[in-house]
């Protein structure tokens, strides 16, 4: 059963990162996983519940990947995680996609996407030992640069554009 849930979450994450929250249906996910739509509904009664679960898992997995990185390497770790995603599978940051669609998302999905951004701003802002408003503003600039560079590189079909846009991040 756990594998089935993981398969559903994996298929949903892939589709959201490629086409957005409104770019998939339960029927699409069922087809990807090789199950019925009713089976998807059994595990996730609503699309909002599925979307929130995918965003929660993505955030937790991303944060655990960069957790433990020394402060002087945290920005580089985030940059590399974004870069790897773009270069390996050509997909956007899941929460970046959801953030772009925030006006049309169910509240529970927004809460989970927002958590990614809040955690990112906090961790990136504190990377140089700063605190308060200055650290928050720094975190906002870094995360906005990473998300924006990813978006532009994907739109241009030029992963190297990400590297050029983020080269000065420290």
pLDDT tens profile 119-131: 999 999 998 888 8
Domain annotation for the chain: domains and CATH numbers: 48-166 (1.10.357.10)
Under-70 pLDDT residues of the chain: 1
pLDDT at 1: 63
pLDDT at 129: 83
pLDDT at 76: 95
Instruction: Count how many Cα atoms sit within 13 Å of the Cα of residue 36 in the half-sphere of its side chain.
Output: 3
pLDDT tens for residues 47-64? 999 999 999 999 999 999
* pTM (2 d.p.): 0.93
């Amino acid at each position: 059963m756990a594998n089935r849930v993981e398969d559903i979450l994996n298929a949903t994450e892939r589709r959201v990162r490629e086409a957005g929250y409104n770019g998939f249906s339960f029927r699409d996910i069922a087809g990807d996983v090789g199950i019925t739509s009713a089976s998807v509904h059994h595990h996730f009664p609503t699309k909002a519940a599925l979307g929130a679960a995918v965003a929660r898992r993505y955030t937790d997995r991303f944060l655990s990947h960069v957790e433990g990185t020394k402060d002087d390497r945290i920005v580089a770790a985030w940059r590399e995680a974004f870069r790897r995603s773009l270069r390996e599978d050509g997909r956007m940051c899941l929460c970046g996609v959801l953030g772009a669609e925030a006006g049309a998302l169910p509240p529970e999905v927004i809460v989970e996407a927002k958590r990614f951004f809040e955690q990112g701003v906090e961790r990136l802002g504190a990377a140089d030992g700063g605190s308060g408003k200055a650290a928050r503003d720094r975190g906002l600039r870094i995360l906005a640069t990473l998300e924006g560079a990813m978006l532009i590189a994907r739109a241009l079909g030029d992963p190297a554009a990400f590297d050029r846009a983020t080269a000065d991040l420290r």
